[in-house]
Amino acid sequence: MRTLALISLLAAPNISYSQGSQGVQRPVTTVPRAVVSQTVMQSHARTLRHLMARIFIQKATIKETLKIAEELKKRGATPHALAALTISLQSIRENLVSIARETRMELSKIPAGSAELHDYTKTYLDFTNQAQKQMVLLEQTIRHISQKSSAKNKGKLRDALNSKRVVGHSFEPSADKATQRLDQEMTQLKTSSDQLLAAAKWLNIATKSSK
């Protein structure tokens, strides 16, 4: 019976033997290369699905922010509204920076030519492109709001100076600062969006088959 068990053990695949402390050989099971490869690919697939979910949420957030900006463009924006819009842009930027960082990490780990992951990276790139298109529209709207607000502030200041009134001066610095912060945040946000798109493109290229 012991002989049959030993023969069965020796015939088993993917088993090697290590020398024990007392000279007794102990079986050491190794995982097949194909199983390791499949596990690695599944891990990358989960990461890519996670990235797709994150950029999809940001795409929706950018679209919603664009609607708010378009409404402010029509009816005008108070310093308070400009400040609130700036906070929204900052939140989006921080998320895009985080997603871009995670994308670059995945790019550094993903095996080159992983064609089985290409559908994931292509969809991720598509979502990122869609977000970028919304970002372009958002930037155009924000710039228009800033220019309109700046012109309005200058007009009010000029009227106040011409009429020698100083009471109206208090609103102008506040509005000007709010406009400047909005412009600066929009510039940083667009840069972050561009960097994320570049990372998504490289990730997509990395999974293209070399054949």
The Cα 98–Cα 150 span in angstroms is: 32
Stretch 67-95: mean pLDDT: 95
Stretch 149-165: mean pLDDT: 55
Stretch 50-70: mean pLDDT: 98
What pLDDT sits at residue 22?
A: 55
Stretch 116-130: mean pLDDT: 96
Q: Which residue has the higher pLDDT, 175 or 195?
A: 195
Highest mean pLDDT: which range of 126-140, 148-162, 175-189:
126-140
What pLDDT sits at residue 26?
A: 47
Residue 71: partners with Cβ closer than 8 Å, 6 or more residues away: none
Residue bearing tokens 């200041």? 157
Helix (H) or strand (E) holding 26: strand 25-29
**Lowest mean pLDDT across 12-26, 32-46, 181-195:** 12-26
The Cα 168–Cα 148 span in angstroms is: 19
What dihedral angle (degrees, nearest 10) is formed by the CA atoms of 150, 153, 154, 158? Answer: 170
The Cα 172–Cα 175 span in angstroms is: 5
The Cα 110–Cα 199 span in angstroms is: 13
The Cα 73–Cα 146 span in angstroms is: 9
- How far, rounded to the nearest angstrom, does the alpha carbon of residue 74 sit from its chain's CA centroid? 30
Q: How confident is the model at residue 28 (pLDDT cuts 50, 70, 90)?
A: very low
Q: How crowded is residue 144: how many other Cβ atoms within 10 Å of its Cβ? A: 14
Two structure tokens written together for 196: 């994320």
Averaged confidence pLDDT in the chain = 81
User: What angle separates helix 79-109 from helix 171-206, to the nearest 10 degrees?
Assistant: 20
What pLDDT sits at residue 200?
A: 98
Stretch 31-46: mean pLDDT: 75
| CATH of region 50-206, choose from 1.10.405, 1.10.10, 2.60.120, 1.20.58 | 1.20.58
Q: How confident is the model at residue 77 (pLDDT cuts 50, 70, 90)?
A: confident
Q: Which residue has the higher pLDDT, 37 or 154?
A: 37
Distance in Å from the first CA to the final CA of the chain: 53
Q: Which residue has the higher pLDDT, 175 or 26?
A: 175
Q: pTM for the whole thing?
A: 0.74
Residue 104 has pLDDT above 60, yes or no: yes
